[in-house]
Structure 1
Amino acid sequence: MNIARIAAPLAVVAALAGCSREGEISVEGGVGIQATRTACPIVGVPAGTGDITLFDPPASRDAAAIDVVANLTNVRAECADSGDDVVSTVSFTVQARRQRADGERTVTLPYFVAIVRGGTNVTAKRIGQVTLTFPAGQLRAQAQGQGTSVIARSAATLPAEVREQLTKKRKAGQEEAAVDPLTAPGVRAAVARATFEALVGFQLTDEQLRYNTTR
Structure 2
Amino acid sequence: MTLRAFTRRLSPALAAAVVLTLSGCGAFEADDKRKCPEIRIDATTADMTRFRPGPGRDVTDITLTGELAGFQGTCQYDDSGVSVDMYLSFSMALGPAAVDRAAEFQYFVAIPQFFPDPAAKQVYTAQAEFPPNVSRVRYRDEEVSIRLPLEKDQSAAGTEIYVGFQLSPEELRYNQTKGRVNSMGQ
Please report the TM-score for the alignment, with normalisation by the length of structure 1. 0.59
Residue 52 of structure 1: CA displacement? 0.8
Change (3 A) 1:195 1:73: same
Structure 2 counterpart of 1:72, one-letter code: L
Asked if 2 retains the 8 angstrom alpha-carbon contact of 1:44 and 1:75, the reply is no
Structure 2 residue 47 is matched with structure 1 residue 51: yes
Change (3 A) 1:110 1:52: same
Residue 61 of structure 1: CA displacement? 2.0
How far, CA to CA, are the matches of 1:199 and 1:122 in structure 2?
Answer: 15
Partner of residue 172, structure 2: 209
Structure 1 counterpart of 2:170, one-letter code: E
Question: CA-atom RMSD, angstroms?
Answer: 3.4
Which sections of structure 2, spanning at least 5 residues, go unmatched? 1-16, 179-186
Structure 2 counterpart of 1:136, one-letter code: P
Q: 1:137 aligns with which of 116, 126, 133?
A: 133
Change (3 A) 1:96 1:194: closer
Q: 2:146 aligns with which of 149, 159, 163?
A: 149
How far, CA to CA, are the matches of 2:82 and 2:66 in structure 1?
Answer: 31
Partner of residue 61, structure 1: 57
Structure 2 counterpart of 1:152, one-letter code: P
Change (3 A) 1:42 1:138: same
Structure 1 counterpart of 2:176, one-letter code: T
How far, CA to CA, are the matches of 1:148 and 1:88 in structure 2?
Answer: 6
Residue 156 of structure 1: CA displacement? 8.8
Partner of residue 107, structure 1: 103
| Cα displacement string for residues 2-52 of structure 1 (whole angstroms, at most 9, x for unaligned residues) | xxxxxxx769xx9xxx9874xxxxxxxxxxxxxxx73x3110111211111
Partner of residue 198, structure 1: 161
Change (3 A) 1:156 1:67: farther
Which sections of structure 1, spanning at least 5 residues, go unmatched? 1-8, 22-36, 159-192
Q: How many pairs does the alignment contain? A: 152
How far, CA to CA, are the matches of 1:61 and 1:155 in structure 2?
Answer: 53
How far, CA to CA, are the matches of 1:95 and 1:55 in structure 2?
Answer: 17
